[in-house]
Amino acid sequence: MAMTRLTPQRAAILEYLDGNTDHPSAEDIYRAVRRRYPMISLATVYNTLDALKQEDAVMELSIDTARKRYDPDTRPHNHLICTTCKRIVDIRVRLPLRLPKSEQSGFKITGKHVEFYGLCPDCQDAQV
């Protein structure tokens, strides 16, 4: 499904995603967009996310096993994840990394992603 029409629903979703660094789930997006556009359906959120994925305007993250998370920043970058609250934070520095040919198992490499795990400041405090 190519994104041939920019409907008001899609515009609302795009506006919410633009510059968003929260890595929201589909449900998060649905709840946020519904505030401005109360009649929108969750199915439309999923449809729009599919369309955006196809044109590489959004990236699906497999970080959180409970639900997919979405990132409007599709440039290669890495993430820092709180193992308690599942907050995802962007890492802005480049992490130079090469996989030696001998370790590529015959794969044609197309990308990479580094995940750092830890406790975010809020969850460190709550831990006391």
Partner DNA sequence: AATTAGCTAATAATCACTCTAAATTTGGAA
Partner DNA sequence: TTCCAAATTTAGAGTGATTATTAGCTAATT
Binding site for a copy of itself (CB under 8 A): 60, 62-65, 68, 80, 82-83, 89, 91-93, 95, 97, 99-100, 103-121, 124
CA distance 22 to 109: 28
Residue 111 interacting entry, from DNA, a copy of itself, none, C-beta within 5 to 8 Å by type: a copy of itself
Q: How far is the CB of 75 from a copy of itself (least distance, A)?
A: 15
Q: How far is the CB of 50 from DNA (least distance, A)?
A: 7
Place of tokens 């649905």: 30
Q: Which long-range contacts (CB under 8 A, 24 or more apart) does 42-48 make?
A: 44/9, 44/13, 45/13, 47/1, 48/3, 48/9, 48/10, 48/13
Strand segments, DSSP code E, in 51-96 are 59-61, 69-71, 78-82, 88-91
**Pick 56 or 103: Cβ nearer a copy of itself:** 103
Residue 101 interacting entry, from a copy of itself, DNA, none, C-beta within 5 to 8 Å by type: none
**Pick 7 or 104: Cβ nearer DNA:** 7
